[in-house]
Structure 1
Amino acid sequence: MKEVDIAQTLTATRARLARALLSAGRPSDDAALLAVSKTKPASMIRTAYHYGQRDFGENYLQEALEKQERLADLNGVAWHFIGPLQSNKTRSVAERFDWVHSIDRAKTAQRLSRYRPSDKPPLNICIQVNTSREHSKSGVLLDDLDDLVAAVVELPGLQLRGLMTLPAPVEGFDAQRVPFAQLRQALESLTSRYPHAKLDTLSMGMSNDLEAAIAEGATWVRLGTAIFGARDYPAAHHS
């Protein structure tokens, strides 16, 4: 596989994000890049860190914990858990991560709250919304979002920050904007009803729909292959 020039890919990705923000009439610092480093070695994360990247997204817990050990000397890294979270993984995630983007059940949030160490700042939480109503995809339906927010927003050790979605792929800028607009409107509604909560986050947009997500207010865009190159999944990947 061709070696990836991470300095070059990061520069290109940041320039794309900057263009999207400019086109949307938003400030240049209004959204941030979450580098999705799942299946990639710690050495590539270290290189990205060297070129200024600080936020990294992981899907597989055991793999992530091993990388965290290897990169423990790096200061200021923020680890984001972005994959489906099984109950038996909540303790390690609560102890070792800064963000979780994929909450879709009250039980999971309650376990994270219980296990979050008291000497750490609150764990930043995003609720995953299944905007495309896909049976195969994680996430709470918009119809059920209010109940889940009510169950999560007051939990100790957690800071509900906003919403995440991973919509079904569609062609065309306007069509791509639709689910992102739904998520933005849902967050605006929650913000008005929970004025004391720090609801400032829309985690949405990847390589194929970044511009549409930014147009609708994304604050985190999750890009992996654009930075680290194509993924080579092993035959069986353990979470």
Structure 2
Amino acid sequence: MSLQQSLAAVRQRIEQAAKMAGREPRSVTLLAVSKTFPASDVAQAAAFGQNDFGENYVQEALDKIAALRPAWPALQWHFIGPLQSNKTRDVALHFDWVHSIERLKIAQRLSDQRPPELPPLQVCIQVNVDGEASKSGVSPDEAGALAAAVAALPRLRLRGLMCIPAPRADVAAQREPFARLRTLRDAIAAEHRLTLDTLSMGMSADLEAAVQEGATIVRVGTALFGRRAAAGAVQP
């Protein structure tokens, strides 16, 4: 299947899931996870109308951004992986979104290093919804306090929550952690009087369940670009 066909197939999956949930398909953003794939694949996807791209590795992403920004200045770049302190400046300078905030220190550095001439950096709190030791993210019990602190930072705009739940066998089981994240988002918004409009959740294998539970961004890599050579990680 060509990349154009894969994009069309994923967009159709999103549309069908949204309609089943009584939602407008345009309320769901497809984030193409392009980590480990070359800039030429991103350019090809952009030519087919894809606008948002997710990256996990800072230097790899910076190389792609530098190569593509002259021809594709309107592309939105999302950092979706664990972020170390020594990489925050590059992310603050070159990305539009960060989905993986789990520590206040990282958020503070991003805010301090975001240039004033750029729009605020759009960010999400990553929540470890299943309490997995192998996964990044703040615990659900700690998410509210972190969200309130991040929302107060001047060069960031807190948009919502992100999660990567453990794999589950069927759509009904997949929906459960996504429903918990939605409920948590709504509770945090009410308690701290925040406007949180984003749920970054759902990947290639479970995007239907995520959309049915209110996802506004689905992070899809494998269903678009194919499987990666690296093993051992959950494939978006």
Match of 1:210 in 2: 207
Q: Once the 2 structures are TM-superposed, how far is the Cα of residue 142 of structure 1 from its aligned partner? A: 0.4
| 1:230 and 2:227 matched | yes
* Distance in 2, Cα, partners of 1:101 & 1:174: 25
CA contact (8 A) 1:85 1:108 kept: yes
Across the two proteins, how many residue pairs are aligned to each other? 230
Q: Which amino acid aligns with 1:160?
A: L
Match of 2:156 in 1: 158
The secondary structure found in structure 2 opposite 1:148 is helix
Q: TM-score, normalised by structure 2?
A: 0.95
Percent sequence identity over aligned pairs: 56
CA contact (8 A) 1:123 1:158 kept: yes
Match of 2:18 in 1: 21
Q: Once the two structures are superposed, what CA deviation does each residue of 1:59-108 show, in whole Å capped at 9, x if it has no partner?
A: 00000000011102212100000000001000000010000000000000
Q: Which amino acid aligns with 1:129?
A: V
The secondary structure found in structure 2 opposite 1:140 is coil
Q: Any residues of structure 2 matched to 1:73-152 within 5 Å, and which?
A: 73=70, 74-152=72-150
Q: TM-score, normalised by structure 1?
A: 0.94
CA contact (8 A) 2:120 2:156 kept: yes
The secondary structure found in structure 2 opposite 1:29 is helix
Q: Once the 2 structures are TM-superposed, how far is the Cα of residue 46 of structure 1 from its aligned partner? A: 0.2
Match of 1:36 in 2: 33
The secondary structure found in structure 1 opposite 2:219 is strand
Q: Once the 2 structures are TM-superposed, how far is the Cα of residue 136 of structure 1 from its aligned partner? A: 1.1
Q: Would you identify which runs of 4 or more consecutive aligned residues in structure 1 move more than 3 Å?
A: none
* Distance in 2, Cα, partners of 1:135 & 1:129: 12
Q: Once the 2 structures are TM-superposed, how far is the Cα of residue 192 of structure 1 from its aligned partner? A: 1.8
Match of 1:237 in 2: none
* Distance in 2, Cα, partners of 1:28 & 1:143: 32
* Distance in 1, Cα, partners of 2:122 & 2:226: 28
Q: Once the 2 structures are TM-superposed, how far is the Cα of residue 170 of structure 1 from its aligned partner? A: 1.1
Of residues 209, 218, 221 in structure 2, which corresponds to 1:221? 218
Q: Once the 2 structures are TM-superposed, how far is the Cα of residue 226 of structure 1 from its aligned partner? A: 0.7
Match of 1:190 in 2: 188
Match of 1:7 in 2: 4
CA contact (8 A) 2:126 2:163 kept: yes
Match of 1:49 in 2: 46
CA contact (8 A) 1:59 1:83 kept: yes
* Distance in 2, Cα, partners of 1:21 & 1:150: 30
CA contact (8 A) 2:159 2:197 kept: yes
